[in-house]
Amino acid sequence: MKRTILAGLAATALAAPAMADIETMQASGTVAEAMDRLEAAVTEAGATVFARVDHGGGAEKAGMTLADSELLIFGNPQLGTPVMQEDPLAGLYLPLKILAYDDGSGQVHIAYEEVEETFDDLNVDDDLEAIEKMEDALEKFAKAAAGE
């Protein structure tokens, strides 16, 4: 019993830092409305929307249930290219993504990974200007999606 509790505490402690790298905020309206606001903000800023993934719809097509959840995949080569020039493996993490999801109680949230943390294990300088611009853009887009 004692071993099980200690193993559980260790697993929780190891998982905690990963969650610290994810920014979340509450959003007004539905997941679809939040994603519409996000897509409009991204497009208006001149970035390219590559895909809008409907996780909830995919689950439904598979005969399963999942609270509404959509992911927007977008980018701007003016920002992504300098990062990939530093380390081509950055292409595993680009383009950028923002998730809108219903937590099951009807509350919608916006979530995205902190940019600096995304490239932490790569040979990318944290002080690279493109990183700061990506961070600013993600925060701005997330706030737009949230309805702020």
pLDDT in the model for residue 116: 84
Q: How far apart are CA 10 and CA 7, in angstroms?
A: 5
pLDDT in the model for residue 126: 87
Prediction pTM value: 0.84
pLDDT in the model for residue 20: 55
Going from the C-alpha of 53 to that of each of 12, 32, 50, 65, 71, the distances in angstroms are 29, 11, 10, 16, 5
Asked if 122 and 132 touch (Cβ cutoff 8 Å), the reply is no
Closest CA to 72 of 26, 28, 32: 32
| List of the chain residues with pLDDT < 50 | 1-18
Adjacency order of strands within the sheet including 48-54: 22-27, 108-113, 96-102, 69-75, 48-54
